[in-house]
Amino acid sequence: MGGGVKLMLKANLVLFFFFCTGLVFGNSLVAASAGTLLVLKLLNSPLLLAILERHALQWGLLFLLIAVLLPFTKDQSSGKGLLAVLLTPTGVVAVVGGITAAYLSGQGLGLLHLKPEIIIGLILGTILGVFFCKGIPVGPLAAAGLTAVLLKLIGLIEK
């Protein structure tokens, strides 16, 4: 078997592994994502895969932001009410938490560009965290950010 065929089989096996792991651990998002990509790969659709590679992250972030901002469509909060919440200790800590999360996600994106192979550990860790710790699979980007900071702290990547 040629090197290209072996590489393709390995890639298919990785996607199939994530599909099965998502099913076994009850993470339908991972299963659906891996299954969709596996089907697209098996259908030999490089154009669709290239479009996804270029735009999927932005689309995912768009839908995540829509979901987070959706409560504002109910017109239940006034501008003064929102400002009053921001000026409470909880509001200030929430702003700091948001800044920290944005920073970590930026660090994660850099790590994923530097070491794309790390995604396997991030996804597996996310799945295990959902299953064993009853966590929420907010995404590998946040996990990559935390991983990037930890790797910098222990000196495994440059600061």
Confirm whether 42 is domain-assigned: no
DSSP-assigned states of every residue in the chain: --HHHHHHHHHHHHHHHHHHHHHHTT-HHHHHHHHHHHHHHHTT-HHHHHHHHHHHHHHHHHHHHHHHHGGGGG----HHHHHHHHTSHHHHHHHHHHHHHHHHHHHHHHHHHH-GGGHHHHHHHHHHHHHHH------HHHHHHHHHHHHHHTTSS--
pLDDT digits (tens, 9 = 90+) for 65-105: 898 888 888 876 667 777 888 889 999 999 999 899 889 98
pLDDT digits (tens, 9 = 90+) for 24-60: 888 888 899 999 999 999 999 889 999 998 999 889 8
Two structure tokens written together for 101: 């999360």
Confirm whether 95 is domain-assigned: yes
Confirm whether 152 is domain-assigned: yes
Confirm whether 94 is domain-assigned: yes
Q: Are 140 and 126 in contact (CB under 8 A)?
A: yes
What is the distance between the alpha carbons of residues 41 and 73, in angstroms, rounded to a whole number? Answer: 38
Confirm whether 129 is domain-assigned: yes
**Residue 107's domain spans which residues?**
77-159
Section 127-152 average pLDDT: 84
Task: Using the predicted structure, report yes or no on whether residue 147 has a pLDDT greater than 70.
Answer: yes
pLDDT digits (tens, 9 = 90+) for 113-135: 889 889 888 888 888 887 788 88
Total number of domains in the chain: 1
Closest by Cα among 123, 116, 117, 118 to 21: 123
Confirm whether 48 is domain-assigned: no
Confirm whether 85 is domain-assigned: yes
Q: Residue 7 burial by CB count (10 A; 0-12/13-18/19+): exposed, middle or buried?
A: exposed
